[in-house]
Chains A and B, each alone.
Chain A
Amino acid sequence: MREINVSEVTKVVSQLCKDSCYYLPEELLAKLKASIDTEESPLGKEILTTIVENAELAKRKDVPICQDTGLTVVFMDIGQDVHFVGGDLYTAIHAGVADGYVNGYLRKSSVDDPLFIRKNTNDNTPAIIHTTIVPGDKVKITVSPKGCGSENMGALKMLKPADGVEGVIKFVVDTVRSAGPNPCPPVTVGVGIGGNMEKAALLAKYSLSRKVGEHNPNPQYAELEKKLLELVNKTGVGPSGLGGSTTAVAVNIEYAPTHIGGMPVAVNLNCHAARRAEAEI
């Protein structure tokens, strides 16, 4: 049994909030840079150049890449041999988010009640926390702040088994096409297939924490990711949705076993500023 004081979690989460909002993942920045050359639209090339300049400027100045520093999504893989001491884990995570957002000059975008009151909590808490228990005595923390421009364009559909691969392809491409400029393309397309309704949604979100350039280890799903990327880039949506050949930089699929009678599919789009930072304790 390894003891970890939750104050350590607070410290790490605070730093990850700032790092993720200031510094775009390197492999994503490289992919965006490379797409300037392949983009067909002259205006699209200019927009991609601006997007790259913006990410570099944010890094240089330690300021948010985008003013919408999102709701804070925290994924934690907790080794089952870890024993947290010194307080409550979730309280410690929220404290880290509050510290990172207040002291890092990040925008607070969380409202306490979704329908009636909608009062800003003023420290971006509560975070949305997803924990998984894994073997070992380490804790892996991934912080992925995500803005609402892209989150609002996600979709979930309970497809029938008979809809098959074609049904999945149609749903994913239709979702990206109808989202158009709103999710700030070039997007990363997160797809969750299987499980049940909430499992599919979670898989889609989780798939967005994958590094650009990595594929699903299952070759059939990896093949589908490549095909979907090609099809999505034929929609013409392009950078900022003003037309072009770079609509997405990646399509990531995660799948899970499901019921004999169903095939849920969730699509979660991430903007070009697909922010993510991770650390291990």
Chain B
Amino acid sequence: MSEQAAIKYIQAPLSAETVKDLRAGDVVRISGYIYTARDAAHKRLTEALARGEKLPLDLKDNVIYYVGPSPTKPGEVVGSAGPTTSGRMDKYTPTMIEQGMRGMIGKGLRSQEVIDACKEHGAVYFAAVGGAAAVIAQSIKGEEMIAYEDLGPEAIRRYEVENFPAIVVIDAEGNDFYKVGIAKYSKE
């Protein structure tokens, strides 16, 4: 779990093999396609599942980015688009992972249930630098509306990303880099 390990370049959707290679603390760059969803979209997705309906996107092997971007200025691909606090999605996350979701990008602490689900199903949680929304937006090369457009910034979009910067926080073995990193530098 070295924090000075070389950057790992990975492709999304994520294969099971890619996830196996990732360790908590790894610095990664993600290229490919990822989907956005935050509180309201998670609520709708899990309610649709509970009713036995088909989802507007196939979660299998996909990465969900917890983001509600600012509006796009003319001439730009997207607005500022940094991560939102992931813990608000904890309630819905184990269900999403059971449906095949392979990765999440957000910021902040996750519940033990989320960590357990990552371990059981081979999923991974990445942190992007919270507040670095203008820098992160530069790695987003394309955007497509997928579902729930009425939710505005909370709608589900598909992003084409190139070298999206992130850090592995929870790996498929259930390691949590927040605990490791903070313990290392605590002087209390």
Residue ranges of A at the interface with B (Cβ–Cβ < 8 Å): 40-44, 46-47, 50-51, 53-54, 57-58, 61-69, 105-109, 120, 122, 148-149, 152, 180-182, 184, 234-238, 240-245, 271-273
Contact = CB atoms under 8 A, between A and B. Distances in A.
B71 A182 contact: no
Closest 4 CB pairs of A and B: A243-B181, A236-B186, A184-B130, A236-B185
Contact of B188 (A41, A120, A180, A236): A236
B100 interface: no
A68 B131 CA distance: 8
B99 interface: no
A43 B181 contact: yes
Interface of B: 3-4, 25, 27, 67-73, 76, 79-82, 84-85, 87, 107-109, 127, 129-135, 137-138, 152-153, 165, 167, 169, 177-178, 180-188
Contacts of B76: 63
Contact of B133 (A54, A234, A243): A54
Nearest to A180: B109
Contacts of B72: 105
Contacts of B183: 236, 243
B133 A66 contact: yes
A267 to B, nearest CB: 18
Contacts of B182: 180, 235-238, 241-243
A234 B186 contact: yes
Nearest to B186: A236
Contact of B134 (A47, A57, A235): A57
Contacts of A41: 3, 181, 184-185
Nearest to A53: B135
B84 A107 contact: no
A63 to B, nearest CB: 5
A65 B84 CA distance: 14
Interface centre among A41, A53, A58, A107, by most chain B C-beta atoms within 10 angstroms, is: A107
A68 B108 contact: no
A211 B96 CA distance: 43
Given A64-B134, A65-B80, 19 more contacts: A41-B3, A47-B129, A57-B138, A58-B133, A61-B134, A63-B73, A67-B79, A68-B82, A68-B133, A148-B85, A149-B85, A181-B107, A181-B109, A234-B187, A238-B185, A242-B177, A243-B185, A244-B185, A273-B131
